[in-house]
Structure 1
């Protein structure tokens, strides 16, 4: 008899993002601080009341566990509560992530539900390597790296975000510290 373990092996890009997030959260700075993308992030104005810039269409603050949707540099929805990744499965930080796939009825290829079936990820909007997405799910427990939203909000995020839209996942504390 064969048993299946739900072990997740992050891709190199995810590992880089996890290391970057850890460094930012302990105040050492980020490994990408001198990159053109990081400089472009610092050069753009923030959307008022959020830690993300006017170039984003979606924003996630890891510190407050909240998310927003933007249109033309203005908040059109949010803040709403979200679940983010827990210890060892942190949600990757990024200033210029992009939506690359959307699936209304996606099921995980890595995790199973209590019934042994692939775990449902309804209203999935993928924005980071390793299957990291916004999707419907519980917001009161840590995720395995995804950004989980309530059913109502997951549908709103799914309908608002389009392929190629910019997503920013940041630590508000690190953003404000970097900007003085």
Structure 2
């Protein structure tokens, strides 16, 4: 019995130590993967996405929308995506986790209002639209804040 109590305590301490060392944002990255649901429904007028999407991105046009039940609730808004070297992945995804304040460990860059949706740390976040991203979808401050508040873990993201 004492061994199982010690094992449980050791596991709890490991979680606390992980959060203390790598931070809450990194701990959120350890959340279970949420698989995307298949795209379904009719194409929403004025977008390349179907009714099942909650967030829609058109890379070639540099635009994005928030959708609710096939209705546009915000957009189109301007975005900046990745370039040929670090492209933004296309497909259907699910929001995996969110962090209001996040700093990329890979690039050391702040990514306010991050909404992570694709493997490799790909997210919607606030950022300059003057230069390409490393695969993320960069938004203005107001748009990033709105996307952060609107989207929830599990919501479908379609990128075209």
| TM-aligned CA deviation for residue 88 of structure 1 | 1.1
Within-5 A mapping of 1:38-77: 41=39, 44-77=41-74
Within-5 A mapping of 1:16-165: 41=39, 44-95=41-92, 97-111=93-107, 118-165=108-155
Greater share of strand residues, 1 or 2?
A: 1
**Structure 1 alignment gaps of length 5 or more:** 1-36, 112-117, 171-180
| TM-aligned CA deviation for residue 47 of structure 1 | 0.7
| TM-aligned CA deviation for residue 50 of structure 1 | 0.3
- 2:30 maps to none
Q: TM-score, normalised by structure 2?
A: 0.75
Return structure 1 stretches of 4+ with deviation > 3 angstroms: none
Q: Secondary structure at the match of 2:142?
A: helix
Q: TM-score, normalised by structure 1?
A: 0.67
Greater Rg by CA: 2
